[in-house]
Structure 1
Amino acid sequence: MSVRLAHGIGDPPSDEPVAAVVALGANLGARAETLAAAVDELRFLPLTTDVRVSAPIETVAVTLTGEDADAPRYLNAVALLQTRLAPATLLRELHRIEADHGRVRREKWGDRTLDLDLIAYGDARIDEPHLTVPHPRAHEREFVLAPWLDVDPDAEIPGRGRVDALLAVVREEAS
């Protein structure tokens, strides 16, 4: 497997590994195979180790107008990894992996072959036009919180709190 790394100017690697959280989702094509291939590609990223992934869950599609029971269902998972890649470099690599799997960005929250979101990067809080960490809606999404909790029972979203408590709120509001 060849790996292309898109280092940007001003994006030096970290001196120490940082725990990053990546949400994976797919609702088109061979979903399970695509998620498995994406996880393999995460494992091959340079300066990245200890990739752990949750069990996948199936969820209804969420669109700009809310849940769409008529749209193809999503398969979602969360991967935890240790990386020395800078956050912007890691995000570029996630976008490259998406593109390699046929991801086309036609409409916001549209159907997709693969979606990789950088949810958290250590305790960093980044608010730039191309990158917001922690992900601004992760604390509201059961399809992020439940698989994250599966792979890390002590997980926290910086500035939001414990993932188990956030998931309880989301589930309570849904009932």
Structure 2
Amino acid sequence: MDPPQFSGRQSTAEAVLPSRLLPRISFRSLFALTTVCAVVTAVVSAAGHGGAYATAGAIAIAFVFGCFAIFALCFLLSWSVAMFPRAIGAALMVVGVHLAFTRFVGVTLRDWAFLQSTAVIVCFELLGLYLVVFPTGRERPDDANSPFADGQLPPQIFAPRDPTE
């Protein structure tokens, strides 16, 4: 049986193209995020009123978020050294000179006084010098070794299949 045909104006809808700039967020993920935030807020609120289990839960949540923040900072540090080795090396040398100068002048850093020790200052200077002299990280593209250098496609690993098969 054919669907009924309606007379009058016909509407045509254009196909929705996926956006490449904005992430696709579904209502299901927003509801899940709202639920998680509500549970975290309830646990922290109960911990503020003296609940023992809620306090333990709040500490566990803070621990997870703290680990995430520390891992993100470690990744940022390693990424920045890999992407900008000379700039990071120069910055480390400047920090080492600054710490040596504050030690020479007699400025104390209170809780951060260990940064003014000789070993830490020498480490800053040596790491900075190493990164300036021997930069690590991404290599510059070498046009001679590029498979596209002679204007041809690189060799194929598998032969192309016949589309009629």
TM-score normalised by structure 2 residue count: 0.17
Mark the structure with the bigger radius of gyration: 2
Give 1 or 2: higher helix fraction: 2
Work out which structure has the larger RCO, using CA pairs closer than 8 Å and 6 or more positions apart in sequence.
1
| TM-score normalised by length of structure 1 | 0.17
